[in-house]
Structure 1
């Protein structure tokens, strides 16, 4: 029997942050992970440079059945607190776009900071450790974990197992199973921050444009994002598509504005009034790739306009073109799923968890942090900031 004040299941961003924080309080801590190495999601994120936080963090950047749940932790451990931590260790970083902060060199530099913090705090880390069973003793309130590396006992048990995204890196639903074992509810879960897939004519269009990336504004269920959108051989991807996937449910359509900075009906009218004899594809190519324009006109049955000089266009022609360019409806068949999803939308119902301590309201000594909870951030460092904040706040109490 190995006795600890705190056992943390999951050596990802939230788990390591919690371990370092608890250890610095003098708690005897061990982190257990079934994988062969720690921080896999940290290492692969941001193209290997880890988008570790954002200059602009607000509760509105997160989705949850209880939108107020994240407020406490985000205000108590802010992006500025984490930036101060990485600067203390001399990490070189830069802002890419929209406040997103990345390591200058490699994500391993950031992981090494977390490991150094754990080491200095005396927190131990064990990999290749499968959890076989968890029991809570009703008399003492202690937890007993039977694992592939022996039996552990603790006062505080922290579940930081993450969600279902990217199972090839070891993601499982184990954290949800623990929650259910102890009587907590789990909300609907979906792959999020994930590319969309199409079928039929939409798939044919996407495949014909595969590799084309454009700045666009994408809207779904009242939420919009203006970022790059990329056509793929399966559908659409890119930051705009990933962002809006957080708000999309099967059966929903999305609307795309391919020229969010330009009122194309007014521009087309100006070209027509100038009696332009140029072909519309040539004129529109000032703003959009010719390959895209041709495929778009064909898809919407407007191919007859390709050879028609703008001087001869009717108001109806201008209206049709403007409508499809500013409000292009797309009907995704689905998404690429957890295989490529960056996060899981949904999770452990936050109504059963304290927003201050992250302790389960019905089970003393049991804590849940990070992605396993029903808190999902936007693309751009928001989910890592949630991991840091929830891990730190729980670490103050375990």
Structure 2
């Protein structure tokens, strides 16, 4: 922080500066603009809302019918309650209705647009535009933030100077909505964490979340051969369990169940796959042995899986017995195999990292941020919203709802 900041007369002055024109930043800007605040949004990328446009395969899973604090990961599990109650999923759904945006419900209460994510982005931009108080500038990389000396407060309400590639600006309230490190090609960066640390905030270590697993062992050979196939499985460890589609890829495992569990996985850990969570394989195999002793195990399993998956499971679990009729298996071997298929251990070599991660785990310590307003408890006028905070939602619209809720509550007071 420089001892002699530039003179205020030389700087473009705003009531509020928002760093980041993503979901949280645009929501905050719109709410502040509605209150008559003069708002400047600075976006590093050449276009706003890039992450919104690519989300949900371009259809934007903008919220979920069921939003609960348990859907979020945070060192303080109670932190999310206030913002989520002040601006709920029903509030945003109402806004979607106001703009006549067509949407559909998919599995587990997930809401997607029917005609593309651009409608959600246009909604946010229209909300900003109709206030006539919000200015958005792109290709604006923030290079430094300075806090003005407190003695300036009486003669000028400006508290911060933001230096950027487009020039210097001053503001009374500064909102950090710069997101995390995920998908850097869409503008993700660590500037928000840097600013937080600059002003004395603790930042929890970050890592990629909602991200596919990679493998380098024999299991990878199977995932490569099965690339593109998907089946419903349960993935679990001692922290969490998710029963959703599992997608095999050239690198390893993806799909909702993998992405969900990645939030609860640490490097070097093993997790378990239940390949048939909706059936009791022990009972099935014992019954089949009694009824049809001459059938092969893979023939039985062809009723439950695509043949290609059965063949790969056979290589992994019972290759040496593959040509043995089920009647020749001992009950103990059948029960052991069933147990293995319900609890198959895998140890990823890693994840695909920030390159494909949907979110960033970790971030600004919420104990140092007001849960009601998102204002820093350490620095007056400084706010943190969205992904930069130590709040990460499950897959299914929860991270967008956190963006809407945290952006709204900050916008109501900045």
TM-based fold match above 0.5: yes
TM-score scaled by length of structure 2: 0.94
Q: Tell me if 1:167 matches 2:177.
A: no
Residue 287 of structure 2 is aligned with which of 270, 279, 299?
270
User: Which deviations, in whole Å up to 9, do the C-alpha atoms of 1:276-300 show, x marking residues without a partner?
Assistant: 3222111110001222222222223
**Residue 305 of structure 1: CA displacement?**
2.6
Quote the residue 2:348 is aligned against: 332
Using the TM superposition, name which of 175-184 and 212-221 deviates more. Answer: 212-221
Q: Distance in 1 between matches of 2:16 and 2:237?
A: 43
Mapped to 2, the partners of 1:228 and 1:200 lie a distance apart of: 22
Q: CA–CA distance in 2 between the matches of 1:31 and 1:385? A: 20
CA RMSD of aligned residues (A): 1.0
Partner of 1:150: 167
Q: How many angstroms does 1:211 deviate by?
A: 2.0
TM superposition shift of 1:138: 2.0
> C-alpha distance in 2, partners of 1:167/1:157?
23
Tell me how far apart the structure 2 counterparts of residues 108 and 211 of structure 1 sit (CA, whole Å): 27
Structure 1 residue 117 displacement after superposition: 0.2
Is residue 64–residue 111 contact of structure 2 (8 Å, CA) maintained in 1? yes
For residue 141 of structure 2, the aligned residue among 112, 130, 133 is 130
Please give the secondary structure, in 2, of the residue aligned with 1:189. Answer: strand
1:200 pairs with one of 213, 217, 221: 217
The residue number in structure 2 matching 1:322 is 338
One of 107, 115, 120 as aligned partner of 2:117? 107
Aligned to 2:8: none
Equivalent-residue separation in structure 1 for 2:246 and 2:87 (angstroms): 33
Q: Does 1:292 align with 2:292?
A: no
- The alignment status of 1:234 with 2:251, answered yes or no, reads yes
- 8 Å contact kept, 1:221–1:247: no
1:245 and 2:262 matched: yes
Equivalent residue for 2:5?
none
Partner SS state of residue 168, structure 2: strand
- Preserved contact between residue 369 and residue 387 of structure 1 (Cα < 8 Å): yes
Taking structure 1 as the reference length, the TM-score comes to 0.98
> Contact 1:221 / 1:248 at 8 angstroms: preserved in 2?
no
1:312 and 2:323 correspond: no
Aligned residues: 397
> Are 1:8 and 1:15, in contact at CA under 8 Å, matched by a contact in 2?
yes
Counterparts of 1:351-362 in structure 2, within 5 Å, are: 351-362=367-378
Instruction: Report the CA distance between 1:146 and its aligned residue.
Output: 1.9
Asked if the contact 1:280/1:305 (under 8 Å) is kept, the reply is no
Runs of 4 or more above 6 Å deviation = none
Select 2:365's aligned residue among 345, 349, 353. 349
1:346 match: secondary structure: strand
**SS at the partner of 2:205?**
coil
For the pair 1:370 / 2:392, whether they are aligned, the reply is no
Shift of 1:206: 1.8
User: Could you tell me which of 59, 65, 68 is aligned with 2:69?
Assistant: 59
Q: Which residue of 1 aligns with 2:200?
A: 183
